[in-house]
Chain A
Amino acid sequence: MKIELQGRARLVGDNINADYIITSSRKRESIDAAVLKQYLLEVVDPAFAASVREGDLLVAGRNFGCGSAMEVAATVILAAGIRAVLAQSFSRPFYRNAINNGLLPIECDTSRIQEGDAIAARLVGDRVEVRSLTRGDTVFGTALPPIGLAILECGGLVEAVRRFGSIRRLDAASHGA
């Protein structure tokens, strides 16, 4: 599978919970990510959503996506034009939701990345290589599980279920069986 992304780093902090990514109360009007994207991270920074450019990369600290398991937290990031989130660690439901929608979660050392840095990410085997074009250094993400890679290869869980019909067959295929 080939994944190559390049974009501008957009920094957020530690423990960015799902409610900060998109507030639950916004879901009283719509769950359409194309509508909700105007409220992306509004609690953290009301000006953030308007400043996002297609291809930006979200760069976080620890425990990104904690709290609620609501899936709009992943789809609203994608709808804003962001294809990958880099974080020191992810909450488990967010990590799954990201993969299931084709949003690449990269668990890596983000401590040296600064706001606006040009970042290139590319999948090498089961790990993502993250290069800072601005600073010239490279880090590697932790390995993605085989089944996670298989889902990403399908572009998300929708296509994976359509193609394999069961999670067991998807898992077997991810091990090359």
Chain B
Amino acid sequence: MSGKTISEKILSAKSRRDARAGDIVVCDVDLVLGTDASSPMAIDYFDRMAGTALFNAARVLFAMDHYAPPATPAVAAFHDRIRGFARAHGAEVREVGDGISFQLAAELGRAVPGSLVIGADSHTVTLGALGLFATGVGSSDLAAAMITGQVWLRVPETIHVRLDGERPSSVAAKDVALELVRIIGPEGANYQTLELDGSAMSSFSLEDRLVISNLGVEMGAKAAIFGVDAATEGYLSGRLAPSDHARNVVVASDGDARYARELVVDVSAISPRISLPHSPDNVVSIEEAVGTPVQMVFIGTCTGGRTSDFHDVLDVLERSGGRIATGVQLVLTPASREVERRLLDDGTLDALAAMGGIVTTPGCGACCGTSGVIPGDGMNVISTANRNFKARMGNATASIYLASPTACAAAAVTGRITDPRTLPGTVT
């Protein structure tokens, strides 16, 4: 037999059999993540499944992220339902303002390399950046896992993505992620895992890797996994419980693992990218969109709402005179309270607010129209998010462009889509 991919190794361990691509296996789940968007339905399924207890309350985590803060009485009632359920069953709830479910799982040391995480949020794949198998499911699979601790999975084939070449300083992780979406397409990785490594991997910080894994689902990927290296260990140090360190396995594929496809991406050849409305795979070089007026700039979400993203934004604004263009709303939503705390401590949010930025509650924010600022009719929005489907932000007449934090900040300065390399003081 040939060697195994990371997915085959993790799913073999979790199903206690020799799992190979194409097999259907039943796995033990290490962590079950529910959001306020998916958990009310999951609780309905739990009740209808005659669930009486969680398989292991310590392995279930709920987060109030999509409706943060709740904008309607109906949504506030969803929150109360989740709180009541969690209290009755002993599970942990992270509150409104604490942040996005899987971001919290990472910060709290609940996402352990080599483990299997399911979350009722398609962007749960983000956690693959930490060397684990994380995938999104619906509310019914979540409920079944809450009761049984199990999930069935078809062991995915793997696309091996090698990031090679010298990374230019002007290339954001988002640019690499968008380039992968362009190359692979909206369903090019359907039913498959992306496994990412290569000589350039060490130039991508853990936060960068979270961005790339996050966009995996926009290619249809079931998981998007990086191996574990010093950056992973550095991030997890002080976060993982000692017992979880003991569980920490070597996450790497075998040299003779069988891949469905090998993709080598030369990151030195990548330049700033942008997704045009209304699909994330509608990716072009930013030069092709330069000059398009924007009325809203959104910095946030599970793609672009982390500490380094806000640092990039402030850097661009300060280098450009510290002024937001007239007629532009700059909306800033940290992905979590930890991110918000750090940005408050180091003065970043203070500086951005002083320039006129609108700082909102940590969580998913304006990304999917469930909370936060909704764009007006006909507005153009440039965003650090991952989806730009029509009506995604709650207004079907708005047009959403997706780009890096740096490119979004450049648009905030000029009021138009702008190549960030043309701003003063840019080193390319």
> In the complex, A36→B48 CA distance in Å?
21
A166 near B139 with CB under 8 A, answer no
Do A168 and B390 contact each other (CB < 8 Å), given the known contacts A31-B40, A71-B138?
no
Q: Which residues of chain A from 161 to 177 have a CB within 8 Å of any chain B CB?
A: 161-162, 165-168, 170-171
Chain B contacts of A166 at CB under 8 A?
Answer: 148, 150
Q: Contact check, A167 vs B187: say whether CB atoms are below 8 A apart.
A: no
Let me know if A167 and B368 touch, CB within 8 A.
Answer: no
B368 touches A24 (CB 8 A): yes
Is A67 in contact with chain B by the CB < 8 A criterion?
yes
Are A17 and B140 also in contact (CB < 8 A) when A25-B394, A29-B72, A167-B26 are?
Answer: no
Interface residues of B in 348-393 (CB under 8 A from A): 368-370, 374, 387, 389-392
Task: State whether the Cβ of A11 lies closer than 8 Å to any Cβ in chain B.
Answer: no
C-alpha gap A147/B27 in the complex (Å): 14
Residue numbers in A under 8 Å from B49 (CB-CB): 157-158, 161-162
- CB nearest neighbor in B for A145: B24
B67 CB contacts on chain A under 8 angstroms: 28
CB < 8 Å neighbour of A25 from B45, B279, B369: B369
Q: Which size bracket describes the interface of B in this complex?
A: 35 or more
A25-42: CB near B (< 8 Å → 1, else 0) gives 101111100000000000
Q: Does B228 contact A (CB under 8 A)?
A: no
Chain A residues near B136 (CB, 8 Å)? Answer: 69, 93
Please give the number of chain A residues whose Cβ is less than 8 angstroms from any Cβ of chain B in the complex.
45
Given the interface pairs A27-B370, A71-B138, A93-B122, the reply to whether A161 lies near B144 with Cβ below 8 Å is: yes
B371 to chain A, nearest CB (A): 8
Q: Is B270 among interface residues, defined by CB-CB distance under 8 A?
A: no
Structural contact, A19 and B26, CB atoms closer than 8 A: no
Q: Mark B19-41, 1 if CB is under 8 A from A, else 0.
A: 00000101000000000011011
A168 engages B24 (CB within 8 Å):
no
Residue contact A29 to B222, C-beta cutoff 8 Å: no
Query: How far is A70 from B364 in the complex, measured between Cα atoms in Å?
Result: 15
Q: Determine whether the beta carbon of B152 is less than 8 Å from that of A24.
A: no
Whether a CB of chain A sits under 8 angstroms from the CB of B220 is yes
**Looking at chain B's contact residues, is the secondary structure mostly helix, strand, loop, or mixed?**
loop
Query: Which of B143, B187, B391 lies in contact with A19, CB distance below 8 A?
Result: B391
Residue of B nearest to A165 (CB): B148
- Is residue A123 contacting chain B, with contact meaning CB distance below 8 A? no
Measured between beta carbons, the chain A residues less than 8 angstroms from B235 are none
A108 vs chain B, min Cβ distance (A): 16
4 interchain residue pairs of minimum CB distance = A25-B369, A71-B138, A167-B150, A63-B187
The 19 sampled A-B contact pairs (Cβ below 8 Å) are A19-B389, A19-B391, A19-B392, A23-B369, A63-B190, A66-B187, A69-B122, A69-B137, A70-B38, A70-B138, A74-B138, A91-B220, A92-B191, A97-B138, A157-B141, A157-B143, A158-B49, A161-B144, A167-B150
Measured CB to CB, the residues of B under 8 A from A are 24, 26, 37-38, 40-41, 45, 48-51, 66-67, 71-72, 74-75, 78, 120-122, 136-141, 143-144, 147-148, 150-152, 154, 186-187, 190-191, 217-218, 220, 222, 279, 368-370, 374, 387, 389-392, 394, 396
